[in-house]
Structure 1
């Protein structure tokens, strides 16, 4: 490619405008008219495949319903997967309504507290601790034994002072208590030595992370009553998105709760009930899996869909003309260059043809619908991944074909490698020939597969298969590779000296080349190099034993390829000029073995 190419990644963010000739606008308008003019308390289904534009319709619908009296609340179940979904749904609803000032802060706090089951609990621990006057009382008790000793001493030695001090020290605890009781009001003689101190620990716990279906219904009804009863013109549209993407248990918990609330609910007579709508965008195939429960005919799933949705809208498939224009438009955003635009239609055609070639397991054609917008964007972004690694190396048409092979058809590098080797015509479809008519196609595909230059890619692609075909004498396989891009270059790169340690492989190689008459159709510049390499490798063989028919034929083939090569110090063996036919008819096995031994001694 000579055009300087720049690339830009496409965003998968849903857009708020119709890009397909008004089909999304029509669906959004129909839903808008329904929820605006009809009584609610019902569930609307919005059915469409992955990436078909459901989110775009929801965006358009939100803009249509952008009104102070109508609130659309979107809950993405996939974004909350792993969380308690019923609780996450109600939290999301409360936060949205508070933000829009449909619920006062005080009421929001009350409902939120109720939702989260927050319970404040106090734990009181009594810890023994010395009282305030305990130190003084303790000292007075220490004086008691001293007082007893002084009293005994004074009594025995007629010392009045010692007797009086002894008595005072002995009764000092009693005196201390009396004094403290008389002169200190807060003194409690029952807590002389110790008191118990109360330590209060507050903890906040959640009794249950997810409300039960009954609790959910009650709280949901309370939220609806709070925000809708104040103004009879208000309406709420709840959009439960991606419920078909989460695990079965989570999806069923929401579905069952909403079913209970809408269809078997004591709240149906409430004045606000008719001003509530629920919209569930879904992929029918994914949603059916939630309810199949092992049955194959889908009857349970069909029954569920009929009972869940009072009305169902479908995202219409894209017309061929519409998605062609859309893809060309997205390509122009992703790939920018002075001349690159001329290749956009080719990319579209390659993608369309490759998709149309999809088959079922019974080899019958599927009904192929137009790709979804997301599929188109992902395909283009995947082309970018290849293009960014090989800027200005390959044409967009080759990149598009490789992208489809790698990520949609073969799906693994090993299968792409096998595909590039399995058939001479790798386009597989005559319609692709004019779009991909290039002698370098296989080499370019290999270059993208191995992320290297074309020359090295050819070697990686063909070297192994060519060597195997040579050394095992797979002549038909070898011939099948002959017209592949780079075949002769790779054959010339084969290192035949690696076969010296296993002479039978070298013999098989020479025999395969001669028997297939490859070199008769060879490009002249490679012939001499290939023959010289084989002859040199043969001259390095020290012993051709054990001799077999294959080895014998191989040796003759080597001699036919290069009869004048100095295999034996410039003395060619006596049967050099003989053809294999002459040898097989004129030389006995004994004579051949003798001749062979002469060569290898």
Structure 2
């Protein structure tokens, strides 16, 4: 309801004056375009005064064509003289679209001419008599019709009627009185004669009429008698009548005759009629073509009386060219052409179809004048002038509408015009302003005029779908920005529903919000919340319905709470909603067992931020939840389970508001429907619920329960509900005793041994055994016995046959938990009490072998390996099994799992070389990355010499795969080598392959400089030992070759010098020299033979010459230049020793040795050997041997 102040404001506002959309008297646009078009039109009319002609006035709807005609009429009136007067007659084709054109046009012309006065005269163009005569010609055709009217009588009727006049006479004559003397005396003879003559005359006439009808009119006897009798009736037998017969429409020739006759009467030298055929473009498209043809018959067909000034016609036809083009080409024929794909249809678009329409227009009119809509610089002034008219003048408009609001009205309309890419017409402007005026009179300032304008622009769409206003994007943003009203949705809602503003939001959004709340449609509610009117609407809905929700439909109330929690909790409107709803909790309808899951949304009352006392709300809801359970023995396990699930949700919400101690205190204070000892089934259900809770353990209730009864219930449920018991056993603090756990395991084992196919619970039994194993380690013995007697193998096979791969894998995993693969292979009993196990063992072998390819099967076992922390054991089995079999496949899958974190790192590190052989590069990289995360732990496990137990292949792979995190371990290894003493170095150099491998890796990959202090004595001893043949290298020679070369640069020369010195006492063997130069080739290449030449040649070169080995030749050839130079400076003794050694090769007679000696002489630049004297006998013998 409006307040008194609002009503007073409304009463002071002016009423809007609805604008009349009629042709303007003045050009309201600054461009004066209409005036120029009118001048051209008037000139064309004058030029066609004495001949037939038609003028086309082309323009869009509302462009002002009628205004141009009105201006032209004014100009023609101004130019009228005593000798000539122009009269414009407008025929509205739209108004007469249901009439027959020719007749209605002529009738309209007569009516107009009868009222139109001649120039400076009181006479009309046509007199009343002329009009009447022409109307008869237009509408009627006189016809004379003669009727023969005939009445027929039956024969009896005819006789009786003929004798009827004689009845009185006959009666009188036949009566006794007629023959009495008294009567005869009184009646004179003349009287009888007169009576007789009259009777004879009457009957004579009747006979004559009968004869004429029978003989001359050729009637039957009955018809003749009936005709004779009819002379007694006041009715003629034949008559002649004149009738007006209406024709449907005169033909074109008849039309022209009547039309030209009318013009001849109405027009004269002083008067000219100009006919305007208006609104042809308002007709339905299917009628435009026909009417267009009818129009042409008015001015295109020549007068039957010849070319006369008085009968000439001038016509003006305003039209919209686009609409005419659409109408004339709407049903354009479809053409077809054939191409490679078949027949293709073609229909020209409007742009191409407008050409024929343009030709039609050109052929219809003598001249066409265009009327263009005004541009924005013109129509802005026109818009404001019409707005002023709406409020009764400029001053009144300024008092009623602010300058800002007036501009917004213009901007809104301009935005629409820009969107349509068209200039507005005067009619559109007037229509828009009138629409605003109508709404203004209805609301009188209650709704801002900008919103009225917005509604006017989008009225059609809004009224067809009011609910679209719920969406903020229902109105384009450009319009919303112009309006600049935060409550525009509320305003438009009030307009479309015609309700007060304070109810608009509720009317629009109310039903939708209620529906979204009651079904907890969070997504839809979020969309509604984006609207400006949402807050008012949601508060109104909650206030009006909260009571019915709590009293009649608690599950809907829970949905409402769920939906509200999804919204912005900081909103004051949402806070009000929560406040209203919390009040309604006092009247909650009793809880219904079986529907507790639908009540879980009530928990949001506890956790919503505006609740200052969440603990009290939780207490209230918990008490409500326990108030309507069945009594006595009717309390079942399901009641306890569903109650706890609801209570657990309450506690989850309370957990965010209370400390852990406060939460435990709240749980301990819960009052159950009865003492827990008296409702074991109910408490068993509660126990099942706590198994899945992360916040509550069964012990938190501090309930005095019947423990034996609880244990017994759990044991009894184990076979029927193994999944539920699994959750109970898996709880952090199981509420059942160890003895009950043992009984549960025995019950499951008995079930498996005696039931060949417990398929319904087979997987759950396995899960329960695993859970029992976690809580009761003795369960391993039970599982082992089931494996030994073949029970697990039987059920694995049964599951596999039924396609239950996951279950089969689970039983396979149970078998491997307590027995190794070798134990399983060696112990295969058969038969079993349930049947023959041969097929079961065969399928197990197949699943365990390298042909196992079931990804689900492998994945299931791998998952169990990870969750039970058996990756280390699986790694050991994998290393023994090789690169095939179930252990390898499951280990690889387990290793790839993101959960594979619990395993023995030290063991995996030690197993890395064997694992690396079966792992792909990606798997190795993944393993290295995970191990690197535990580098610190690995270092702690490998202190001092144990650091070398880390496989060097692991470090190589980490380097190759660029896996970071291994530098700390390398640093520890380098630290270890840096701290070695001489004895330890001797042990390393004494074929310690592991140590040498690490040393080589650190030297080659990490640039480690070997410390010389403790290494030098051991190294010199090792080098001389090799030369003397006392030390044999039993490992890869590559592990040794780098050692003397990776000493710190400053110490390398000292080591070389010490080595040369140590050669003094060294007895070098030929094999030792070969080994030395092969193993320590790089070191040997650094020796300076120009110093201590004699010693080096004696100890190293001479043994090489004698060895004839490839390594010797390679070294001597590589060092030929330096050796030759050194030899030239050596002592004569050394030279002689070299020559003698070479000579010995030459004297051996072996071809390879001789060749080798020749090369040595060349390298050392020694003279060739002297040729020995030739033996003649030998020479002759050779000659004789030749053929």
Change (3 A) 1:533 1:302: farther
For 1:234 and 1:70, the matched residues in 2 are separated by 6
Does residue 11 (structure 1) correspond to residue 20 (structure 2)? The answer is yes
Counterpart contact for 2:58–2:368, Cα < 8 Å: yes
Structure 1 pair 257–221 and aligned structure 2 pair: CA distance change class (3 A): farther
Cα distance change of structure 1 residues 497 and 91 upon mapping to structure 2, 3 Å threshold: same
The 3-state SS of whatever aligns with 2:98 is coil
Q: Quick one: higher RCO (CA 8 Å, sep 6+), 1 or 2?
A: 1
- How far off is 1:279 after superposition? 0.6
**1:199-255 superposed Cα distances (whole Å, 9 cap, x missing partner):** 868564233142122211221122233344x53x64321111123334678765654
Q: Contact conserved, 2:59 with 2:320, CA < 8 A, in 1?
A: yes
Q: Quick one: which of 295, 308, 317 aligns to 1:271?
A: 308
Aligned-pair CA distance for 1:27: 1.0
Aligned partners of 1:417 and 1:161: how far apart in 2?
111
Aligned residue for 2:142?
A: 119
Q: 55-64 or 233-242, which moves further after superposition?
A: 233-242
Specify the SS of the correspondent of 2:615. coil
Match of 2:548 in 1: 498
1:508 to 544, 554, 559: 559
For residue 281 of structure 1, give the secondary structure of its aligned residue in structure 2: strand
The residue matched to 1:115 in structure 2 has which SS? helix
Q: Summarize the Cα distance change of 1:282–1:351 in structure 2 as closer, same or farther, 3 Å threshold.
A: same
Asked if structure 2 preserves the Cα contact closer than 8 Å seen for 1:150 and 1:162, the reply is no
Structure having the larger proportion of residues in strand: 1
Listed as ranges, the matches of 1:339-358 within 5 Å are 339-342=400-403, 343-358=405-420
- Where does 1:90-239 land on structure 2 (aligned, <5 Å)? 90-99=106-115, 100=117, 101-119=124-142, 121=144, 142-144=168-170, 146-147=172-173, 173-176=195-198, 194=231, 197-198=235-236, 204-228=243-267, 230-231=268-269, 234-239=271-276
Structure 1 distance, partners of 2:574, 2:524, is: 22
- Partner SS for 1:45: strand
* Matched residue SS, 1:20: coil
Work out whether 1:329 is the aligned partner of 2:385.
Answer: yes
3-state SS of 2:19 partner = coil
Which residue pairs with 2:280 in the alignment?
A: 243
Q: Does residue 85 of structure 1 match 2:101?
A: yes
Instruction: Give the TM-score taking structure 2 as reference length.
Output: 0.42
Match of 1:35 among 27, 45, 61: 45
Partner-residue secondary structure (3-state), 1:80: coil
CA distance in structure 1 between the partners assigned to 2:46 and 2:458 by the alignment: 48
What's the offset of the Cα at 1:321? Answer: 1.7
Instruction: Describe the shift of the 1:371–1:589 C-alpha distance in structure 2 as closer, same or farther (beyond 3 A).
Output: farther
Seen in structure 2, the aligned counterparts of structure 1 residues 203 and 505 have a Cα distance that, compared at 3 Å, is farther
The corresponding residue for 2:369 is: 313
Contact 2:143–2:245 at 8 Å: present in 1 too? no
RMSD (CA atoms): 4.4
SS at match of 2:485: coil
SS of the counterpart of 1:563?
A: helix
Change (3 A) 1:370 1:223: same
2:51/2:309 contact within 8 Å kept = no
- Mark the CA change 1:582 to 1:353 in structure 2 (over 3 Å): closer, same or farther: same
Q: Deviations over 1:114-173 (max 9, x none)?
A: 112252646556588xxxxxx9x976664356547779979xxxx899699899898765
Q: Quick one: structure 1 residues 247 and 480, their matched pair in 2 at CA, closer, same or farther if it must change by over 3 Å? A: closer
2:613 pairs with 1:590: no
Deviates more, 1:441-450 or 1:113-122: 113-122
- Alignment partner of 2:616: what SS? coil
Partner of residue 526, structure 1: 576
Q: Distance in 2 between matches of 1:569 and 1:581?
A: 15
Q: Secondary structure at the match of 1:578?
A: helix
Secondary structure of the residue aligned to 2:369 is: strand
- The CA deviation at 1:280 is 0.8
Cα offset for 1:104?
4.6
Structure 1 residue 76 corresponds to structure 2 residue 128: no
Q: Which residue of 2 aligns with 1:362?
A: none
Counterpart check, 1:535 vs 2:544: no
Match status 1:400 vs 2:409: no
Assess if the C-alpha contact under 8 Å between 1:152 and 1:163 holds in 2. no
User: Structure 2 vs 1, CA of residues 200 and 17 (structure 1 numbering), >3 Å: closer, same or farther?
Assistant: farther
Does the Cα contact within 8 Å between 2:261 and 2:311 map onto a contact in 1? Answer: no
When the two structures are aligned, how many residues end up with a matched partner?
559
Provide the C-alpha distance between the structure 2 equivalents of 1:593 and 1:547, rounded to a whole number of angstroms: 17
Distance 1:107 1:152 in 2: 75
Q: 2:440, 2:553 → 1: CA distance?
A: 44
Cα distance change of structure 1 residues 298 and 244 upon mapping to structure 2, 3 Å threshold: same
Q: Tell me if 1:455 matches 2:502.
A: yes
**Conservation of the 8 A alpha-carbon contact between 1:72 and 1:239:** yes
Q: Determine helix, strand or coil for the equivalent of 2:458.
A: helix
Q: Residue 253 of structure 2 aligns to a residue in which SS?
A: helix
Q: Flag structure 1 segments of 5+ consecutive residues without an equivalent.
A: 129-134, 182-186, 359-367
CA–CA distance in 2 between the matches of 1:261 and 1:527? 75
Paired residue for 2:439?
386
- After superposition, the C-alpha distances for 1:527-552 in whole angstroms (9 at most, x for unaligned) are 65245246346x3342263343xx36
SS of the equivalent of 1:304 reads: helix
Q: Which residue pairs with 1:428 in the alignment? A: 476
1:478-502, CA deviations, whole angstroms, 9 ceiling, x for partnerless residues? 3343353343343333123433444
1:44 aligns to what SS in structure 2? strand
Question: Hey, what's the Cα distance between the residues in 2 that align with 1:388 and 1:40?
Answer: 53
- Whether the 8 Å CA contact 2:62–2:427 is kept in 1: the answer is yes
Take 1:531 and 1:188, find their aligned partners in 2: how far apart are those partners? Answer: 111
Find the partner of 2:594 among 537, 545, 549: 545
Bigger Cα Rg: 2
Secondary structure at the aligned position of 2:476 is classed as: coil
Aligned partner of 2:296 in structure 1 is: 259
Tell me the equivalent position of 2:652: 579
Structure 1 residues 588 and 225: alpha-carbon distance in aligned structure 2, compared to 1, 3 A threshold: farther
C-alpha change, 1:570 and 1:54, in structure 2 (3 Å) is closer
How far does the alpha carbon of each residue in 1:335-363 deviate from its partner, in whole angstroms, 9 at most, with x for none?
Answer: 345141512111110121134334xxxxx
